[in-house]
Chain A
């Protein structure tokens, strides 16, 4: 087991190296002199000063050397300084990521606590109205653009009813009530797709489990229907739900880019988009590294959760 975890962690290294190198190369391929991005607008420098900046930032070195310098610092936790405002990238990214994480978690938990029960109810009451409603919602939830759902939610709850704020962000730890009020609409918009997928997966998994012989045995033993469903069936039905979790981490990041723009939330997605336009490749590279680590870690947790939920699955060769 631990051997397996260590091996998987080691396998992450080449993927991370590849991802960050590709980003590095891509950012350098963007036309325009990167020195331009380093000096303030309207600032005029002579040749000598430009050469000095170039040297300070190692821009005169070959791509591989530049990448090597970045990498050796990155492994020590130093992601460099933003070329826009000279602030340490690791620090800024950390605070931005916390914002994205907050509403990502709210979105994800909502999706989980709505999606799993709805999927199970849908399977248990198959063919009844509950099932139809849940199925229609889950089909719609996958096809609807999350940001459009956000716009429609703004229209209904913000513009028409005036119940919820539609822009900005309040730290949930400073003012929990305002924080949640600000988070409600974006988290809803972000979570709907995941919720629909979870509902769909848990419904089909539950249907499969309910048809198994051991379910009949459990009922024959005289166990109550509630125990049969929630204890015996649920654990096995959760397996595919875990798969969705692994796949959704990347999607939540992608969704966050648009949703943060829509709701004016100062999270990671927003930060990355601004950095790309400002050619602030130090920030972009750090951000991509953080995202890559998160997605790969989520995948690893997913695989470990499999083993925990299904003892037949063993890792470690």
Chain B
């Protein structure tokens, strides 16, 4: 984060250094592998999906692991592997969209809080408090009732839940940076508030925002799954890991595999995001250790 002010020790781009250090940590490397595989599966879906995820194979209803259906099939004979891969696309779109929305709204709000202070800061932070109080699931249920469960609804609902965390991270970073001697000196020397934000606060916020964003991705995958499960997320026939679990639940005693597979996928992807997020925190900002938890 001090790249701009200190001479670089090597010619390597800081992002490359971070990635190299990340891959040197076993857990983080595992996380990166899982994320890369998921992204590849999602991108290459049209070529690698074995059969149409909506095609019904009436000869193989609720089948277990077999040559025709590697991960089994559901009560309508639809291929679980195919649905899982399409579900990966949805999970990634939701997490990227929701975190993107959180950053797009939360960072400017945090900066505005630091910039204007006083009354504006109070108002922004109280609104953020109000947002934290809403469980994001209920926002989503409300939005789904208002607009119908769709990709956009889900992204907006989870994204809104991300906003206060982003704003708080940026604000607290801003408050700390503003007290630093060289920043206080720059301000005393007549540097404008806006320039202090652009030159000092924003660059210092990048690391914690990246960490928060990575952890937020895992949270988004979890929330999407929960929404899908209670039936207010993205609606069938589009397969999502959440609605796959919802449809599998009544079949639990007949074909448990149907409930096991999507849950494992969610677990692995969330685990991967958490591993990478934790490692990034240790690399980018050791001071944050333990702060962004929970």
Contact = CB atoms under 8 A, between A and B. Distances in A.
A binds B: yes
Per DSSP, chain B at the interface is: helix
B252 A292 contact: no
Nearest to B231: A261
Nearest to A251: B135
Interface in B226-270: 226, 229-230, 232, 245, 249, 252-253, 256, 259-260, 263, 266-267, 270
A154 B252 contact: yes
Interface string B101-144: 00000000000000000000000001101101111111001100
Contact of B146 (A29, A143, A147): A29
A interface: dominant SS:
helix
B287 to A, nearest CB: 14
Interface string A134-157: 000001101111011001101100
Contacts, number: 130
A240 B293 CA distance: 10
A284 B260 CA distance: 34
B294 interface: yes
B87 interface: no
Contacts of A284: 142
Interface residues of B, number: 40
A244 B292 CA distance: 11
B138 A15 contact: no
A254 B137 contact: yes
Interface residues of A, number: 53
B140 to A, nearest CB: 10
A234 to B, nearest CB: 18
B135 A148 contact: no
A258 B135 contact: no
Given A18-B126, A139-B274, A291 B136 contact: no
A159 B250 CA distance: 12
8 contacts: A15-B129, A18-B127, A140-B267, A143-B267, A151-B263, A257-B135, A272-B138, A291-B134
